[in-house]
Structure 1
Amino acid sequence: MDSRQMRYFVALAETLHFGRAAARLHMTQPPFSRQIANLERELGVQLVERNSRHVTLTQAGERFLADSRAVLAQFEDACRDARLVAEGQKGELRLGFMMHAAHRIVPQIVSCYAGLRPDIRIVLLETTPAEIEHRLLGGELDAAITFAGRPFPQLRTVPVITDHLCLIVPREHALVGRDTIAPHDLAAEDLIAAPATVAPTLREAITGYFEMAGIVPRFRYEPQLQHTIVRLVAARLGVALVPASICDESIVEVVPRALAAAPALKVVLSVPAESGNPAIAPLIDIIREWKGPLAAAMPVAQPTR
């Protein structure tokens, strides 16, 4: 038995006439009648009562009609869903992102994507850049917002924005009165930064900023997450160079300050070079179309040249 036989029976049950049911299905009556007879034989039950004047459903036929309609509806849903998934209209998108992106970039991107593809379930994973790289290469993520780093042939990237480093200090710190901070102003400061094993691109930008001035940075605490770094600065345990995308006035205990010749940090969308998930393509389109507005949303603590 297959779905065609169910459709034949539903047509008969809805018309209660072999000729009209056959015509609805663009068939002649004899082969249609044979299909109904074959169906009853396979089921081992009588579905319809026949005589020369009319057709009626048996109790078994009434039940089979209800179940057939439900099965056919599920089958149609399955066919529709398969087409929608193939078209990138339905399915699941596993999106990873670093904490810096969570502050401004990811909410905008997810909002745009959800509006464009409301039937795609977005699974969000906030983690470190190193973990993002690992999960992308391992096939655990479909896409991720992260820093541009070492190239991998298995991955391709789409530019999102160019971020910059800025300084955050405790509100009572002496550097609060300075508009622009240079590397030599931080030579004696305890620094708080994520280790290179967690955020290699960010750590290289921070160390490079001091190295260009001939200064050896003094790292005191090395937590993994930027949120922890901000809280440690708020607790007056040091200062930190962080991406400008999280460097604003929203945390009252710390004050952002622009850096002279602030290093640039390229933020990208990273996706597998070969992926069978059609939900990725709309995300790439959004990034390409919205990178201007995303960049315009950066905070006021921009680098001063």
Structure 2
Amino acid sequence: MDIPKLLDGRLKLRHLVLVDALTKQGSVVGAAAALHVTQPVATRSLHDLESILGVELYERGPRGITPTIFGEAFTAHARAVIAQLTQAGRHVFELAEADRGTVVVGTHLAGSNVLLPGAIARLKVERPLLTVIVREGTPETLLVELEAGRVDLIVGRLTSPTDQSAIRDTLYEESVELVTRARHPLAELDSLTLADLADYPWILPGTETSLRRELEEFFARNGMPLPANRVEATSFLTVRQLLIETDMIAVLPSLIPRDDARLTTLPVALDPIGHSVGITLSPGRTLSPSAEALVGNLRRIAAEIAPPGR
């Protein structure tokens, strides 16, 4: 098979954008809607691209499309090109408008209530005209957004070391605690066991998170099933309000209740569950001046709030 000539003028930027949308949406209809084009236009563009590459990028099924090995590979390259072009445009703009710019940061529960707000507040004092866009999501979703250049960096728990897909930089280590409202019936007790908590409702992280898997293992080691009376949530605002208004018990990073007078922690150790909090970046992509400025403030705030001895 001859190597496709992708620089002969047939491959267009719209083909790359389409592949990104198709893989993300899982259907031609969804991709067409996301790109504000008709389904026939999206289908024709996909056929053109597959003709250029000489392979099928997707398997068609009754419930949508699934990337083939060729589709997965080409999607990764398409997203890298889109990310580089997006970054190039923003970089040029920021060089021309030194006091302006935009940084898009993804976050999940760890780091979202203290680290990131503190860094943003300090950044806005230094550069008031800089726009900061914060996007919440699961770690897996945010990694896709990072790969595609839709976010510049991710702040949150680090679940794996640096690899070919992402650069992970630890800022501090943080423990995980059992958190309740300050006036919870168990809050005044000095000694508790996991069994004492069995009859209360719980708030647990979603099944797609590493913390959830670690909690399942923790309960199994202690000979107990996962609480049946539970809510699964990762939104900090939702979790906090549920804790304040009910007798629920949540599993949260230790910094979340530290400065919140309406929350407290229970004396039940979750060792060895803990995590590293840090920054995740895309390899091979230069940060814009705005993103660099945010990263600098994240490092300074992390040095100030890191738990003693960590």
TMscore range, shorter length: 0.5 to 0.7
Residue of structure 2 equivalent to 1:204: 213
User: Which residue, 168, 175, 178 being the options, matches 2:179?
Assistant: 168
Structure 2: distance between partners of 1:284 and 1:145: 10
Aligned runs of 1:20-35 on 2, under 5 Å?
Answer: none
Q: Does 1:126 align with 2:136?
A: yes
Structure 1: distance between partners of 2:247 and 2:266: 17
Structure 2: distance between partners of 1:178 and 1:250: 19
Shift of 1:212: 3.2
Q: Does 1:223 align with 2:233?
A: yes
SS at the partner of 1:292? helix
Aligned runs of 1:1-305 on 2, under 5 Å?
Answer: 82=92, 85=95, 91-117=101-127, 120-150=130-160, 152-179=163-190, 181-197=192-208, 200-219=209-228, 220-236=230-246, 238-248=248-258, 250=260, 252=262, 254-262=263-271, 263-279=273-289, 280-296=291-307
Distance 1:114 1:171, change over 3 A: closer
Structure 1: distance between partners of 2:193 and 2:105: 36
SS at the partner of 2:175? strand
Distance 1:201 1:126, change over 3 A: same
- Percent identity over the alignment is 18
The AA in structure 2 aligned to 1:281 is E
Structure 2: distance between partners of 1:172 and 1:121: 39
Distance 1:114 1:183, change over 3 A: same
Structure 2: distance between partners of 1:174 and 1:277: 49
Q: Please report the TM-score for the alignment, with normalisation by the length of structure 1.
A: 0.58
Contact map agreement 2:168 2:279 (CA 8 A) in 1? yes
Contact map agreement 1:159 1:266 (CA 8 A) in 2? yes
Contact map agreement 2:111 2:157 (CA 8 A) in 1? no
Distance 1:181 1:164, change over 3 A: farther
Contact map agreement 2:107 2:137 (CA 8 A) in 1? yes
Distance 1:84 1:132, change over 3 A: closer
SS at the partner of 1:277? coil
Unaligned runs of 5+ residues in structure 1 are 1-80
Contact map agreement 2:107 2:136 (CA 8 A) in 1? yes
Structure 2: distance between partners of 1:239 and 1:188: 10
The AA in structure 1 aligned to 2:166 is L
Structure 1: distance between partners of 2:149 and 2:203: 32
SS at the partner of 2:217? helix
SS at the partner of 1:273? coil
Residue of structure 1 equivalent to 2:45: none
Distance 1:172 1:117, change over 3 A: closer
Give the stretch that moved more between structures: 144-153 or 266-275. 144-153
> Deviation string for 1:257-298 (max 9, x for gaps)?
2432542121111111122433333444444444321215x9
Structure 1: distance between partners of 2:140 and 2:192: 29
Contact map agreement 1:184 1:213 (CA 8 A) in 2? no
> Deviation string for 1:86-131 (max 9, x for gaps)?
9987532111222442321112211333345555432222344343
Higher Cα Rg, which structure: 1
Give the stretch that moved more between structures: 175-184 or 105-114. 175-184
Shift of 1:178: 2.3
Contact map agreement 2:101 2:131 (CA 8 A) in 1? yes
Structure 2: distance between partners of 1:278 and 1:180: 51
Distance 1:256 1:242, change over 3 A: same
SS at the partner of 1:103? coil
- Runs (4+) off by over 6 Å: 86-89
